[in-house]
Structure 1
Amino acid sequence: MPRPKFALWPLPLFIALVFLGAVHLAWWLSLQAGYIPACNPYWEGCTSVSRAARHGLGNHLFRLAVLPCALLHALNWWLATVWLREGEVPMRRTEPNLLLMLGLLSALALALYATFLGTEGETYRFLRRYGVVLYFGCGFLAQLLFMRLAMRGGRLQGVPARGMQGICVTMLALGVMNVAASAFVADADLRDRIENVLEWQLGLLLVGWFILQALCWRRDGYALVLSRRGAP
């Protein structure tokens, strides 16, 4: 009798969909309530992701969705480490531990950001700002390391591999553009709009990366197999 299996590819897909839905629902609710101006934030940059999810019902729903999503982030990176180890991917002893550490730091930073979103005060503003920076920074490094190890072991190929590479190169380019805008754009309003546009686009690329991770795991058949006694 075959043992029951639970496919794990829906986990990164669910993370992507929750992010996409939470951000855009919060944006729409804030727009309807008049908290933010009407525009296409991906091209016009009239509001940041944080401002779109900072007020009213949108803030409550955003935090309600993103805080559990931070826990799913941590689970996802732990499962990614297990996947690489069980696939006998050639790795240095420190590499899987580094991947897990980066993933957990990214998840913790996301939880920190969502917890204090909508609060007032300089301390909370600092925590939100650096929570975002740490989330994207550690998450990006974890993505790069995941790709490197998975491609080294032949477990990441074809469309997911090329797509992830393209997304990471684009994310790096957006990060460089953000630094350049902060340093060289004198007009404060224009600088804020550029930074907002890059933030929205960066978030969309992040969603795309998790979707490609889900495709990779689906092709690989990564699943949780239970024993006859119900233990994994």
Structure 2
Amino acid sequence: MKNNHSYAAFWLPLLCALLPFVALHAGFIVAAQSELISWCVPYWDGCASVSKVGRQLPITLIYRGLIIPGMVMGALFWLLVPNTLTSWSNSPVKRSMMLCGVLGCLFIVVYCVALGEQDRVYRLFRYAGVMFGVGFTVAAQILMTKWLKREISTAEGALQAMTICLWSYLIMAFLSVSGQLLLPELYEEYIRSSLEWWLFLLVSLWYLFVSILYSQESVRLRFFQ
């Protein structure tokens, strides 16, 4: 069982990182080549939001075909991998972390299903899906990073990178609030779209760093032997 968990701890977060990342960037390239959006660097230019890129066929199908399986991998990750951490084996914090992680993945699935639909109800589902999906996911990531820092005595580089991702979320929240208050027109036109891309990138990077962390021999020996 521990050996199975060691494979899950590496492959599940890796797939959860790569599949949505590939979906967003492949979708952007297809949309730009189809002249649905202009060529640009969305991380800097804020030329098209993540949702705007995915609203048109066939990009919607690319999003659904890659992000939904990625979220299935993510839900399995939150159900299986936290059980390798023993110090909070019956802790309500651990259960909260697992619940937040699974809910985050489910809400992102709701977002993908509603993406591209024009009905007002679907727009509501899309908005709720991305807001709650990202919110629950970030909450779970914060709890697990804190937990891992308690479990692992050595300062692993991947764990430090995970912590940087969390601080980056805080910086993005500050920029979002500041932009809405000080530069509302610029925020709506450019800044919000740019922040969306950075936010989804950070979520994927956190999962990637988890995979790297669990690939290290010292961590495998700590949790899976």
Give 1:28's aligned residue: 29
Mean CA deviation greater in 174-183 or 97-106: 174-183
Cα distance in structure 1, aligned partners of 2:15 and 2:140:
19
Query: Matches of residues 114-153 of structure 1 in structure 2 within 5 Å?
Result: 114-153=112-151
- TM-score (norm: length of structure 1): 0.87
Give 2:152's aligned residue: 154
Question: Is the 1:63–1:114 contact (alpha carbons within 8 Å) kept by the matching residues of 2?
Answer: yes
Cα distance in structure 2, aligned partners of 1:155 and 1:12:
22
- TM-score (norm: length of structure 2): 0.89
**1:41 and 1:79, CA in 2 relative to 1: closer, same or farther beyond 3 A?**
same
**1:152 and 1:91, CA in 2 relative to 1: closer, same or farther beyond 3 A?**
farther
Give 1:230's aligned residue: none
Aligned-pair CA distance for 1:141: 0.7
Deviations 1:56-112 (A, max 9, x none): 11111211111122211110111222121xxx2246620111011101110111110
Cα distance in structure 2, aligned partners of 1:212 and 1:67:
21
Question: Is the 2:14–2:208 contact (alpha carbons within 8 Å) kept by the matching residues of 1?
Answer: yes
Give 1:66's aligned residue: 67
Cα distance in structure 2, aligned partners of 1:76 and 1:65:
17
Mean CA deviation greater in 74-83 or 104-113: 74-83
Aligned-pair CA distance for 1:32: 1.1
Q: CA RMSD in A?
A: 2.2
Give 2:42's aligned residue: 41
Question: Is the 2:180–2:187 contact (alpha carbons within 8 Å) kept by the matching residues of 1?
Answer: no
Q: Secondary structure at the match of 1:7?
A: helix
Aligned-pair CA distance for 1:175: 1.8
Aligned-pair CA distance for 1:155: 6.7
Aligned-pair CA distance for 1:124: 1.1
Ranges of 4+ aligned residues in structure 1 off by more than 4 Å: 3-6
Cα distance in structure 2, aligned partners of 1:140 and 1:156:
24
Q: Which of these residues, 86, 94, 97, is aligned with residue 95 of structure 2? A: 97
Q: Secondary structure at the match of 1:76?
A: helix
Aligned-pair CA distance for 1:190: 4.6
Q: Which of these residues, 194, 197, 202, is aligned with residue 194 of structure 2? A: 197
Cα distance in structure 1, aligned partners of 2:41 and 2:129:
25
Task: Determine which structure has the larger helix proportion and give its number.
Answer: 2
Amino acid in the other structure paired with 1:142? A
Aligned-pair CA distance for 1:133: 0.9
Question: Is the 1:89–1:150 contact (alpha carbons within 8 Å) kept by the matching residues of 2?
Answer: no
The answer to whether residue 173 in structure 2 is matched with residue 172 in structure 1 is no
Percent of paired sites with the same residue: 24
